[in-house]
């Protein structure tokens, strides 16, 4: 009995010590991360341009993040910060930063040493565009490691937006653009509440894409390894491809009477949820499952299965008498995995 009691006390003490050490280490890691994300020390440059002749803003950065938004002032304002952790001596010679305007093209260049936790040295750029701008200003930029945040406003159209973050994060909300292109080698892309007149392109090599409330002519999303999710999309052409992972498209409508939807996952699962009145579909794979689910009280479907080439196809039509004549031509493919389509009336 005494032996059991002694063992219990020992384990309790060891557990308490482990918890205290883990707690201290966690606090230390949190403090270091916080110091790196928002270090207290920085060197700042501020540049102001009249927006009369500005047609594009371009940035090129090694490490850091960019915030883009709008303000009520009549000028374009650019705040450039070289940030570094408290206790670290900042060496201006290690940084090459420049902001220039050449015939309406604003160029922002920031070159700094590779990121390390000892100094946490990185760049942040804040770009403010006038709400009453007279031009549709285009936005382009490349970041090696970091993030880009764009917070637009529907009442303020911009030109083409083309952003690349090789490793990091891209978030775009409430944007009204002529065209939108977002790319990342390793990272996350999030796009919400977007209007793009000519089209949207989203590309990730390894990571994820998540788009919601999209209105555009064409939507193209490509993920090599990861997840691609899209919901509440209005587009005449939707093309979602994932090489290895998971693809889902939910609630898709169109401007024109004829709509084309392509969802392909080479290895993994493709899922499409529709409420369109008329659907002409084809589903295929080499090995896996082909699934279609619909409510017989809402739709009449004629389905055929070609076992020789593993194709499930057919047509589904809404039973509502005054349903629109819009037709969705659907293709759902997977080489090895699951292709699934669910059809139900939008309440």
Length of the chain: 347
Residue 23 lies in a domain: no
Cβ–Cβ < 8 Å for 78, 46:
yes
Q: Give the chain's domain count.
A: 2
Exposure string for 265-287, b = 16+ CB within 10 A, e = fewer? bbebbbbbbbbbbbbbbebbbee
Mark whether 232 and 139 lie in a shared domain.
Answer: no
Same domain, 300 and 323: yes
Q: List the domain range (segments joined by +) for residue 284.
A: 228-347
Residues 210 and 245 in one domain: no
273 and 211 in one domain? no
- What pLDDT shows up at residue 29? 43
CB-based contacts of 196-205 (< 8 A; 24+ apart in sequence): 200/235, 204/228
> Looking at the structure, do residues 187 and 72 belong to the same domain, yes or no?
yes
Q: Which of the residues in the chain have pLDDT under 50?
A: 26-31, 33-34, 41, 115, 117
Q: Are residues 239 and 208 part of one domain?
A: no
- Please, what is the Cα angle at 308 between 304 and 309, to 5 degrees? 80
Of 185, 216, 247, the last residue of a domain is 216
- The helix/strand/coil state of 346 is coil
Q: Is residue 33 part of a domain?
A: no
Q: What confidence tens digit (pLDDT) does each residue in 27-45 have?
A: 444 445 445 555 554 555 6
Could you list the beta-strand ranges (E) of the chain: 41-50, 56-71, 75-84, 96-102, 105-111, 122-130, 138-151, 158-216, 218-234, 237-253, 258-274, 278-284, 287-294, 299-306, 311-318, 327-343
DSSP letter at 52 equals G
- pLDDT given for residue 41 in this prediction: 47
Residues 58 and 199 reside in one and the same domain: yes
Q: Same structural domain for residues 183 and 300? A: no
Residues 208 and 268 in one domain: no
Whether residue 201 sits in one domain with residue 122: yes
- Domain final residue pick, 216, 239, 267: 216
Domain check: are 196 and 328 in the same one?
Answer: no
Would 25 be classed as within a structural domain? Answer: no
| 202 and 255, same domain (yes or no) | no
The candidate with the shortest Cα–Cα distance to 345, out of 268, 273, 263, is: 273
In a domain, 31, yes or no: no
Question: Which of left, alpha, beta for 120 (phi over 0: left; psi -120 to 50: alpha)?
Answer: left
Q: Write down the pLDDT at residue 120.
A: 62
* Residue where one domain finishes, among candidates 216, 249, 273: 216
Residue 221 lies in a domain: no
Whole-structure pTM value: 0.83
- Rounded CA-CA distance 55/53 in Å is 6
């Amino acid at each position: 009995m005494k032996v059991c009691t002694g063992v219990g006390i020992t384990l309790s003490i060891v557990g308490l010590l482990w918890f205290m050490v883990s707690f201290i280490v966690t606090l230390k890691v949190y403090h270091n991360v916080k110091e790196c994300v928002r270090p207290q020390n920085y060197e700042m440059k501020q540049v102001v341009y009249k927006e009369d002749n500005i047609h594009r803003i371009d940035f090129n950065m090694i490490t850091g993040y960019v915030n883009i938004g709008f303000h009520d002032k009549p000028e374009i304002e650019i705040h450039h910060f070289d940030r570094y952790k408290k206790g670290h001596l900042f060496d201006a010679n290690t940084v090459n930063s420049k902001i220039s305007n050449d015939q309406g093209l604003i160029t922002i260049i920031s070159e700094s040493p590779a990121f390390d936790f000892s100094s946490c040295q990185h760049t942040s750029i804040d770009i403010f565009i006038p709400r009453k701008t007279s031009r549709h200003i285009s936005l382009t930029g490349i970041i090696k490691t970091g993030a880009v945040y764009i917070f637009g406003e529907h009442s303020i159209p911009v030109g083409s937006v083309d952003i690349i973050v090789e490793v990091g994060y891209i978030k775009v909300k409430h944007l009204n653009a002529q065209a939108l292109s977002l790319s990342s080698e390793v990272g996350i892309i999030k796009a919400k509440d977007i209007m793009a007149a000519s089209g949207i392109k989203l590309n990730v090599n390894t990571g994820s894409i998540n788009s919601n409330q999209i209105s555009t002519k064409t939507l193209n999303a490509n993920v090599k390894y990861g997840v691609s999710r899209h919901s509440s999309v209005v587009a005449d052409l939707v093309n979602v491809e994932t090489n290895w992972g998971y693809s889902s498209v939910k609630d898709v409508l169109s401007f024109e009477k004829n709509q084309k939807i392509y969802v392909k996952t080479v290895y993994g699962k493709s899922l499409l949820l529709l409420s369109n009145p008329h659907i002409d579909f084809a589903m295929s794979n080499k090995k896996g499952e082909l699934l279609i689910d619909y409510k017989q009280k809402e739709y009449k479907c004629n389905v055929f299965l070609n076992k020789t080439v593993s194709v499930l196809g057919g047509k589904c039509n809404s039973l509502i008498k005054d349903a629109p004549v819009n037709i969705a031509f659907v293709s759902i493919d997977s080489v090895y995995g699951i292709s699934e389509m669910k059809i139900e009336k939008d309440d």
